[in-house]
Structure 1
Amino acid sequence: MSSQRIMDIELLRGIAVLGVLFHHLQDSLFAVPVPLLEAIHLYAQPWWGVDLFFAISGFVIARSLIPALRGCSTPRQTWEQTRNFWLRRAFRLLPSAWLWLALMLLACVFLNRSGAYGNVQANIQATLAGVLQYANFRFADSFFHYEYGSSFVYWSLSLEEQFYLLFPLLIVLCRKYLVWALLALVAVQLFTWRTPLLMVVRTDALALGVLLAMWSAQPSYARWEPTWLRRPGLGLTVLIMLSAVLSFIATDRFTFTSYRIGLIAVLCAVLVWLGSYNRDYLMPRGLLKNLMTWVGSRSYGIYLIHIPAYCLVRELIFRLQTAGLPSPAGHPILTLLVAGGLIVVLSELNYRLVEMPLRNRGSRLVQRMGVSRTAVPSGATSC
């Protein structure tokens, strides 16, 4: 399968990260309740963007990794493909993640008069959990018990890292039974009450993304292409409707809570399916889609940066107020614009100076290892 970027998937990444940013406005950016946000949250909670990220990750990773591993004929080739996958993921994800963990911890120590970043001890423990990839388990343990720290969003990153570590092994072990194993994983979770622990190890959206990637290699995938979405405006209408339904399901007004996460996972997989054809079904080409795909391409950095940016704006407002200077306090729109501008600048810098250089370095490292493996040893002589 092609590893070429699918722009409609980038669009979905943009929608996912904007939903998470909106969900975290109250309490993370605004220390006091904002009536409009509270009113919206009664009927719409866009935290399902995390599950959309999971479905996208399962799809994008599986469409290249499964064919690569199934094409291996020896254990050595299998190990090399797995090692290369792990190396690329590490260079893609860890530098930015560790950078912003370190910056948040430093801000907690030196830029925290307002207390926006939380206490130092909680942030030290949260930083350790983020670096060692057990943040999801610490997040579950902290529910209603103790302060997690300002890097709480790392729970989902830890879950994805665990998936990246174990998924190649699952492919190798299950082989032709992989589809059935994934279907069982989805079915079991669909009818399971999600305790805090099960919420932070939820893998149904990831599994559905993988199943979609496997289906995309079959002839029936082309036959089921939703060509009816070519009618002008219909695809965008479907996108808005599905987003609205997902946002409602995520609220307390949705009473079938036992099936909430499973249903969200299925609908997120439907969105990924519609975007996977890369036919502009969900949104026509134009300025808005270009903007959303830009957001999607920077979504990883935006996800990492938005909480420290929110906390920094709160700290800035606090210092301006205590100094008797004009501040955005009491002006939610102005506060939102300041925070949004900061996120845009920092995420672009992160993308250009950290994310892409390190991703390219990881790719070059994998290429060099492949070349060195096939090169003739320096002491060898030809016959």
Structure 2
Amino acid sequence: LPADPRHTAKPGRIRRLPGLDGLRGIAVAAVLIYHFFGSALPGGFLGVDVFFVLSGFLITALLVREYGHNGRISLKKFWQRRARRILPAAATVLVVCTAVAGILGGDAAVNLPPQFLGSLFFVNNWVQISEAHSYFADTTPQIFMHYWSLAIEEQFYVLWPLLFLGAILLARRLGVRSPATQMRWPAALATVIGIASLIAMIVLFNPDDDPSRVYFGTDTHAFGLVTGVVLALIVTAPSDLWPDSFPVMVRPRITKMLGWTLAPVAFIALVAMIIFLPDTAPFTYRGGLFVASLLTAGVILSVVRERGPVPVLLQWRPFRYLGERSFSLYLWHWPVVVFLLQELQDGPKGQETGVPDWGVGLIAVAVSLVLSELSYRYVETPFRRRGYRGVLDGLGEAKRMLPVPAAALTLTLLAGVALGDSPEHSELEEQLSSISKSQDMQNQAPPPAAGAADPGLPAGQDITAIGDSVMLASAPSLYQRFPGITVDAETSRHYTAGAGVIDTMLADGSLGEYVVLGFGTNGQAFDGQLDQIMAQLGPDHKAVLVVPYGHQDPIPTAAQQVIDYAHAHRNVYLAPWCSMISDHPEDLYDDGVHPNDEGGPVYADAVAAGLRAAKAGTQDAAVSCAL
């Protein structure tokens, strides 16, 4: 069939689509901004889902063209190409960053062996699920946490070619001879897998729990990949009879109209989701990620058809530059920011001698760009073009390259030492675990003997404190300051889980008259959620909201939320933790959020101030939080 020479692909290959590099560039930029300047781009995590759709599309298009050209697919060569593309850069980052973590020590060196091995064998996502790590609120930085998405993609690269071939062989056994008709079978299979994955995410998502399980899971997060698969099976020519790998099957006028109407709408909608969709919103896991995947597929289709303004925008050189280096940039950026946060902020966040978060973010951007450029030029590109043997032969022939093996051996030895010396838990994690184990015993202790009490404060047995890991870290001080108090605090807890605790205590009659709610570390309350909690408590209980402290997203917005809520409701009182601890950043752990042994009494003082106001029935309108 005749085709535009510009759109002619080599037999068995696909046409070069420069706009897809631009889409990769936008996706990786979104992820970097999300990790470096979280509050500036709440939905930046969707960049990973854009990568998923792109991967599913490109890999499947290559499989379709190879099958159409050869009548078969060489799985060995397919997996070899994937290994050449991914393993060198991924392994380089693993070894270098493990060695650096061992040298620097601190929290970055915690729990390295399962991170390293899980990433090396591309099961990082399942390792994190098994260890109950949170992508959205964790007390210790995992320097290879971002390898979860690479693990899902690699698992896809192993399984999908087998499923694709299985569907094709089944179609052939049933007498289907037309390549175009045969493609309907893997398309149907992929559709079923995608629907099942979406349903699994919706069913397994529990708004009362951290969403990391459904986010990390291959089973629950595969729909983005298969969205790209289905698109490729629809638009890719399964035979060399079509010189263009992506022939237009409808009238050019219709293609042009769609390029100027629906394609811009899909692109704008995707960008809007990246800007506004929160990572903790229930909608995100009840269809939001799938909607983003569908919008990405629409943008890819516009790039394939090369009609309208979207393909032109995506071919802008800065976008393409980032896209071409997106893999290395993604690999390097997260360890870089973890190391910089630990080393540049010499003490808690907010300390005057430390570098502010935005400063760390800017430095991280610069360092990541340099490292990704070096990785792209000297690791990715040589292995992709020449293969392992070609690169090794080149090293052997070039005497000036002899230091490279020596450096590689040194880094490998340092990484091995770091893995052997890596502590299993950080100091903060060990402290929180110890407090958590003693919490039930403290709550079940007999009421204290009557003694001198502060007349301005309620009795301890009339106080119930429910909160997250910040309250848990302060629990010993709360027990000491308010004998008889009940404290129910857990790590990674959101308001949603707190509401469930209130229901349970109301049912068994254990909820005190004064209820202290210490949340915000893991996200602000959803719309209307504070009203629902107040309705739960009813007129017989008085609520004290702890104003959270911490410079990283989402704590500042959560702090302002409780301040605004209390100012609008006369029966809600504030514990000024934010303003009281901001003058004593040395009383926090290095994460700048959780109180240490000296910070616990400050937290108790803040709670006491809120309880004093609640007992007097007088709000302190001067409570603020300068974050």
TM interval, short-chain normalised: 0.7 to 0.9
Which of 123, 141, 149 is equivalent to 2:112?
Answer: 123
Which of 317, 328, 332 is equivalent to 1:301?
Answer: 328
In structure 1, C-alpha distance between the alignment counterparts of 2:14 and 2:301, rounded to whole Å: 16
In structure 2, C-alpha distance between the alignment counterparts of 1:264 and 1:96, rounded to whole Å: 28
In structure 2, C-alpha distance between the alignment counterparts of 1:23 and 1:210, rounded to whole Å: 27
Aligned residue runs from structure 1 range 151-166, under 5 A: 151-166=144-159
Which of 15, 20, 24 is equivalent to 1:9?
Answer: 20
User: Counterpart amino acid of 1:330?
Assistant: P
2:344 corresponds in structure 1 to 317
1:21-40 Cα offsets, whole Å, 9 max, x none, are 122126xxxxxxxxxx54x4
1:183 maps onto 2:187 in alignment: no
- The structure with the greater share of residues assigned to helix is 1
Q: CA deviation at 1:118?
A: 4.5
In structure 2, C-alpha distance between the alignment counterparts of 1:140 and 1:156, rounded to whole Å: 13
RMSD: 3.1
Total equivalences in the alignment: 336
Highest relative contact order (Cα 8 Å, sep 6+), 1 or 2? 1
2:127 corresponds in structure 1 to 138
Q: 1:191 aligns to what SS in structure 2?
A: helix
In structure 2, C-alpha distance between the alignment counterparts of 1:256 and 1:61, rounded to whole Å: 26
Aligned residue runs from structure 1 range 73-112, under 5 A: 73=71, 78=73, 81-112=74-105
Q: CA deviation at 1:237?
A: 6.9
Q: 2:162 aligns to what SS in structure 1?
A: helix
Q: Which runs of 5+ in 2 are unaligned?
A: 1-8, 169-181, 206-211, 238-246, 391-627
Query: Are the structure 2 counterparts of residues 190 and 97 from structure 1 closer, same or farther at C-alpha, using a change threshold of 3 Å?
Result: same
- TM-score by structure 2 length? 0.49
Q: 1:46 aligns to what SS in structure 2?
A: coil
Moved more, 193-202 or 265-274: 193-202
1:17 and 1:299 in contact (8 A); partners too? yes
2:19 and 2:312 in contact (8 A); partners too? no
User: Counterpart amino acid of 2:355?
Assistant: A
- TM-score by structure 1 length? 0.77
In structure 2, C-alpha distance between the alignment counterparts of 1:250 and 1:363, rounded to whole Å: 42
1:137 and 1:197 in contact (8 A); partners too? no
Q: 2:316 aligns to what SS in structure 1?
A: helix
1:268 maps onto 2:293 in alignment: no
In structure 2, C-alpha distance between the alignment counterparts of 1:361 and 1:48, rounded to whole Å: 33
2:345 and 2:356 in contact (8 A); partners too? no
Aligned residue runs from structure 1 range 1-383, under 5 A: 2-25=13-36, 37-38=38-39, 40=40, 44-73=42-71, 78=73, 81-113=74-106, 115=107, 117-119=108-110, 122-144=111-133, 149-175=142-168, 176=182, 177-192=185-200, 193=202, 194-195=204-205, 196-199=212-215, 200-201=217-218, 202-217=221-236, 221-223=249-251, 226-228=255-257, 239-253=267-281, 255=283, 257-279=285-307, 281-282=309-310, 284=312, 289-318=316-345, 329-330=355-356, 332=358, 334-362=359-387
Query: Are the structure 2 counterparts of residues 11 and 21 from structure 1 closer, same or farther at C-alpha, using a change threshold of 3 Å?
Result: same
Moved more, 182-191 or 211-220: 211-220
Q: CA deviation at 1:137?
A: 0.6
In structure 2, C-alpha distance between the alignment counterparts of 1:253 and 1:170, rounded to whole Å: 34
In structure 2, C-alpha distance between the alignment counterparts of 1:118 and 1:260, rounded to whole Å: 35
1:66-108 Cα offsets, whole Å, 9 max, x none, are 23135445xxx64xx2111110110110010011011111111
